[in-house]
């Protein structure tokens, strides 16, 4: 098989990239190791920055998002049994965010790709990227045989460029020699226990709560489905928590002095997400480009993961179009540096939000007071609050 751009991974990064290239008349092949149902059901954060919304619309992938997504003009910070609302448009000159789950973004992009885009192969697992430094990099992959007997075959995809959109656990990053790369990493000694519940959200905007017992987040998937999270110790198994315990703990952490009530409902899904910050530099090696989680991870507290992936693939698609139109590789050469500037800003923000709101095991009373002072500062200083609002709604794409 031959193509211009070989894309490994059909998460938001790979799927959107395929769409952007298709719109620009550049052919691609997407290889995805899992099946379609798995990709469409995987729960992740669902906050789209203004820039991401604009990109999806411009790519012709925003129709259902505009119908079903929920525009949010603020979030609530909750601490010390008090509530403080951060008003995004007022602080950022009119910007807001869209609550539209990553599962839905993926479903929309998959449907478009299968209808009018290039090949999107499920259950096709990339094994290795070869000859990344050459003019003709290759992806070796394994796929299900046509006879349906469960046997696996191997294939080779020859490309002009390979984009590794295969997430943190993928193979693309491994093709960058260790001697030329550097990884920056931080793990946190806690994770999030996330639930989906069939109950209307108890608040019309997201609530980020800091509590002595740990962080809690109220989010939503639709007007009838709530998404809630609890900070739990590292290594927690979701099965250790029964439904009654989860609701009781959420109630404790969200409690306010003004009698706010949390609505309970049947829990339909439970899982634990670990928390880490990770950046791989550079994001390019020869004709191999890394995008999204393959190159960087943020803790979910600022909901930046998907938005960063969008920034990467927009940067790559523009650079490739520029190359085709002008013959100049200048933007392709600048890919890693351009992306990393944005990535480190998101790392900074996600780290700040994480340390602002979570209670680290063994935190001292001094640190507890400092956290409250930081929250107090955001609640009482317009410039501190603006800093949060600008980062949350996202910097405009170049």
Quote the radius of gyration of the chain (alpha carbons, Å).
Answer: 22
Contact pattern from residue 236 through residue 275 relative to ligand APR, giving x for each residue in contact according to CB under 6 A and a dash for the rest = ----------------------------------------
User: Using H for helix, E for strand and C for coil, what is the string for 18-52?
Assistant: HHHHHHCCCCEEEECCCCHHHHHHCCCCCEEEHHH
303 binds ligand PHB (CB under 6 A): yes
Chain centroid to Cα 291, Å, comes to 12
| One of 72, 95, 211, 227 touching ligand PHB (CB under 6 A) | 227
**288 touching ligand APR, by CB under 6 A:** no
What is residue 210's DSSP assignment? E
According to the binding rule CB under 6 A, does residue 300 interact with ligand PHB? Answer: yes
> Is residue 159 involved in binding ligand PHB (CB under 6 A)?
no
Q: Which does 193 bind (CB under 5 to 8 A by kind): ligand APR, ligand PHB, none?
A: none
Q: Which of 22, 280, 304, 358 is catalytic?
A: 304
Interaction of residue 350 with ligand PHB, rule CB under 6 A: no
Residues 6+ apart with CB under 8 A from 211: 79, 252, 253, 359
- The string over 240-276, giving b where at least 16 C-beta atoms fall within 10 Å of a residue's C-beta and e elsewhere, is ebeeeebbebbebbbbeeeebebebbebeebebbebe
Q: Is 320 in the site for ligand APR (CB under 6 A)?
A: no
Is 164 one of the binding residues for ligand APR (CB under 6 A)?
no
Exposure letters 282-318 (e unless 16+ CB within 10 A, then b)? bbbbbbbbbbbbbbbbbbbbbbbbbbbbbbbbbbbbb
**What string marks each residue from 28 to 47 as x (binds ligand APR by CB under 6 A) or -?**
---xxxx----x----x---
Q: Is 115 a catalytic residue?
A: no
Strands 82-87 and 47-49 turn out to be unpaired
Please identify which residue in 52, 113, 301, 393 interacts with ligand PHB, judged by CB under 6 A. Answer: 301
Q: Is 293 in the site for ligand APR (CB under 6 A)?
A: yes
Instruction: Summarize as ranges the residues that interact with ligand PHB (CB under 6 A).
Output: 45-47, 206, 219, 227, 300-303
Instruction: Summarize as ranges the residues that interact with ligand APR (CB under 6 A).
Output: 8-14, 31-34, 39, 44, 102, 125-126, 165-167, 169-171, 292-293, 305-306, 309
């Amino acid at each position: 098989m031959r193509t211009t751009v070989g894309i490994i991974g059909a998460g938001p990064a790979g799927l959107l990239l395929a769409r952007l290239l298709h719109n620009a008349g550049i052919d691609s092949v997407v290889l995805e190791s899992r099946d379609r149902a798995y990709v469409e059901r995987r729960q992740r954060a669902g906050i789209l920055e203004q820039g991401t919304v604009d990109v999806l619309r411009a790519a012709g992938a925003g129709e259902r998002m505009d119908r079903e997504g929920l525009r949010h003009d603020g979030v609530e910070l909750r601490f010390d049994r008090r509530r403080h609302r951060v008003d995004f448009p007022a602080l950022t000159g009119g910007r807001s965010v869209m609550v539209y789950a990553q599962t839905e973004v993926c479903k929309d992009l998959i449907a478009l790709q299968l209808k009018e885009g290039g090949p999107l192969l499920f259950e096709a697992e990339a094994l290795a990227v070869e000859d990344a430094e050459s003019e003709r990099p290759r992806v070796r992959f394994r796929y299900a045989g046509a006879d349906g007997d469960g046997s696996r075959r191997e294939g080779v995809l020859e490309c002009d460029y390979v984009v590794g959109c295969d997430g943190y656990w993928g193979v693309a990053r491994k093709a960058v020699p260790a001697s030329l790369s550097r990884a920056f990493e931080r793990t946190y000694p806690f994770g999030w226990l996330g639930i989906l519940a069939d109950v209307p959200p108890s608040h019309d905007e997201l609530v980020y709560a800091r509590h002595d017992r740990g962080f809690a987040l109220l989010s939503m998937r639709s007007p009838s489905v709530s998404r809630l999270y609890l900070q739990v110790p590292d290594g927690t198994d979701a099965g250790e928590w029964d439904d009654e315990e989860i609701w009781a703990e959420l109630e404790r952490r969200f409690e306010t002095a003004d009698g706010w009530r949390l609505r309970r409902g049947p829990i339909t899904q439970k899982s634990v997400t670990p928390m880490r910050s990770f950046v791989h530099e550079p994001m390019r090696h020869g004709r191999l480009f890394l995008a999204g989680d393959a190159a960087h991870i943020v803790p979910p507290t600022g909901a930046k993961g998907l938005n960063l992936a969008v920034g990467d693939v927009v940067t790559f698609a523009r650079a490739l179009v520029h190359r085709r139109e002008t013959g100049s590789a200048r933007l392709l050469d600048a890919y890693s540096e351009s992306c990393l500037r944005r990535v480190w800003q998101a790392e900074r923000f996600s780290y700040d939000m994480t340390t602002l709101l979570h209670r680290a095991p063994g935190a001292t009373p001094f640190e507890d007071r400092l956290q409250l002072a930081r929250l107090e500062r955001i609640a009482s200083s317009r410039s501190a609050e603006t800093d949060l609002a600008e980062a949350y709604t996202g910097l405009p794409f170049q």
